Amino acid sequence: MFRFTDTKLRLPAKRAADERRDDWEEIYADFAREQAAIQAGRCSQCGVPFCQIHCPLQNNIPDWLRLTAENRLQEAYELSQSTNNMPEICGRICPQDRLCEGSCVIEQSGHGTVTIGAVERYLTEKAWENGWVRALHPVEEKAEKVAIIGAGPAGLSAAENLRAIGYRVTVFDRYPEPGGLLLYGIPNFKLEKEVVYRRTDRLRDAGIEFVMRCNVGQDVTFQTLQRDYDAILLANGVYQSRPLSVPGSTSENVVEALPYLIACADTARREPLSLDSQCDVTNKSVIVVGGGDTAMDCVRSAIRQGAREVNCIYRRDRQNMPGSMREVTHAQEEGVTFTWCESPLTILKTEKTQDRASYIFETAKVSLADRDHTGRAIPKLLLEEKKAHEADVIILALGFEAEDLKENLALPKLAVTKKGTVRVPVSSLMTSIPGIFAAGDIVRGASLVVWAIRDGREAASEIAKYLRAKNRHKTSSLSYA
């Protein structure tokens, strides 16, 4: 350990941009065993592990780094998975530069961070190869049944933990396969679909039932679930795209990010979705509006689809982007152009010719003079400084909002916030309706996968407490009778 003074930071090999922009494969290779141990050995084992503190799951990072450095890989994996239902997924898609690695003590001291994410991915891949990922067997079979609405990371994590205790779990989801945005919203070059499939297959093998292509509120009523299940978890995420309120934003080739990413998703192993051909940007000029990780997924997908040119327009500067800086760097390497400090004004349809695209996207320059209560720069339009961009397809990646659950689920008594997310106390995660819980993005708004996993784990714990208390009350009532 403590090799950070004489061993430099080294990431797994990254494929060249010219090579990777022509396929959808992951861009990083796995560590070799020796290199994983060497990089893990750079950890300073500091007394206050800021990496662990800034991990939403509170992963025991220094401990499993030490075990990896000592080549005790199975022990390292078991410690890693004890706090994380999907360590290999977090190792691939977590913005470590904003969380654990960005908080690393040796990073702050100028020696370069420990490659936590890459080691986490390496450990779990070794675990799958060597059979260390055990089948899920409940401690005991319980009579109570739990319904989970949403097969994304929050719902899957809750389902796993509840099933491990012994509850009978059924997961309902609108899409053909479980995984949520892990499967349909994150491109293959960041997360290969087989990585998700083997996790969901493991849950199926444990007896968790998945009811797919089921839109709760339409295909089955919420009241039916209340009748048939002892507890219900709302983990359906936020899928409604935030609109762009400028003239022309509803034009034909102005596409929302999620339908576009779903169109790009490789679901070849299972039944693919049938989607609109307007999401094919081959040989087209593309503008993506937004600066988060979803926008980065869109621009990098457009490159791989064979777009003629891709321009990302964001109303703040690079330092104020909400997305991962590593993703921005990857996009720039692959040929994406970034236009900073410009905000949309209008989208004008034009007559497409050989030399001209289908739309004129008019923007105004933005000044970043002031900051809000979070410290982020507040964009101020400079209407006297306008600019015109040409595009054939415009993809809106402005974030996601909650759907109207009170109406969709016929739950007028469900307490929600002004933003439409479900209001729950942190102490119990139970909604205003007894027996109904909520977790993940539907509570906190669009957020990171790692937060959804944490919320799902906590929801499982709270549901178990609720069912035990309910069972005790029932037993007590019977004894008095």
Q: Where are the domains of the chain?
A: 3-130, 145-238+402-480, 244-396
User: What's the pLDDT band for 277 if we cut at 50, 70, 90?
Assistant: low
Identify whether the C-beta of residue 396 lies closer than 8 Å to the C-beta of residue 255. Answer: yes
- DSSP codes of every residue in 154-167: HHHHHHHHHHHHT-
The model's pLDDT over 127-138, given as tens digits with 9 standing for 90+, comes to 999 999 999 999
**pLDDT of amino acid 274:** 53
**pLDDT of amino acid 353:** 72
Contact residues for 105 (Cβ-Cβ < 8 A; gap 6+):
44, 46, 50, 51
pLDDT at 142 over 90: yes
What is the residue whose two structure tokens read 């169109």? Answer: 263
- Give the pLDDT mean for 54-59: 97
Alpha helices in 152-229 (DSSP H): 153-165, 181-184, 193-205, 222-228
Contact residues for 241 (Cβ-Cβ < 8 A; gap 6+):
256, 257, 258, 396, 398, 399, 400, 401
Identify whether the C-beta of residue 463 lies closer than 8 Å to the C-beta of residue 162. Answer: yes
**pLDDT of amino acid 286:** 97
With vertex at residue 324, the alpha carbon angle to CA 156 and CA 400, rounded to the nearest 5 degrees, is: 55
Superfamily of domain 244-396: FAD/NAD(P)-binding domain (3.50.50.60)
19-52 in b/e form (b: 16+ CB < 10 A) is ebbeebebbbeebeeebbbbbbbbbbeeeebbbb
**pLDDT of amino acid 273:** 52
Pairing of strands 400-401, 240-241: antiparallel
Compute the half-sphere exposure of residue 328: CA atoms within 13 Å on the CB side of its CA: 19
- Give the pLDDT mean for 140-154: 97
Name the percent of the chain lying above pLDDT 90: 83
**pLDDT of amino acid 476:** 60
CATH T-level topology, domain 3-130: Fumarate Reductase Iron-sulfur Protein; Chain B, domain 2 (1.10.1060)
Copy the structure tokens of residue 186: 């994150």
Name the percent of the chain lying above pLDDT 70: 95
The model's pLDDT over 294-339, given as tens digits with 9 standing for 90+, comes to 999 999 999 999 999 999 999 999 988 888 899 999 999 999 999 9
The model's pLDDT over 408-422, given as tens digits with 9 standing for 90+, comes to 999 999 999 999 999
pLDDT at 480 over 80: no
Question: What distance in Å separates the CA atoms of residue 159 and residue 164, rounded to the nearest whole number?
Answer: 8
pTM over 0.95: no
- Give the pLDDT mean for 146-153: 98
The model's pLDDT over 414-471, given as tens digits with 9 standing for 90+, comes to 999 999 999 999 999 999 999 999 999 999 999 999 999 999 999 999 999 999 998 8
Question: What distance in Å separates the CA atoms of residue 171 and residue 102, rounded to the nearest whole number?
Answer: 35
Q: How many CB atoms lie within 10 A of CB 454?
A: 23
Question: What distance in Å separates the CA atoms of residue 89 and residue 80, rounded to the nearest whole number?
Answer: 12
The better pLDDT of the pair 276, 318 is held by 318
pLDDT at 151 over 90: yes
User: What's the pLDDT band for 344 if we cut at 50, 70, 90?
Assistant: very high
- Give the pLDDT mean for 371-377: 82
- Give the pLDDT mean for 286-298: 96
Question: What distance in Å separates the CA atoms of residue 41 and residue 35, rounded to the nearest whole number?
Answer: 10
Copy the structure tokens of residue 75: 């022990």
Distances (CA, A) of 361 to 222, 287, 290: 43, 9, 14
Identify whether the C-beta of residue 213 lies closer than 8 Å to the C-beta of residue 175. Answer: yes
CATH T-level topology, domain 145-238+402-480: FAD/NAD(P)-binding domain (3.50.50)
Say if 145-238+402-480 and 244-396 have the same CATH topology: yes
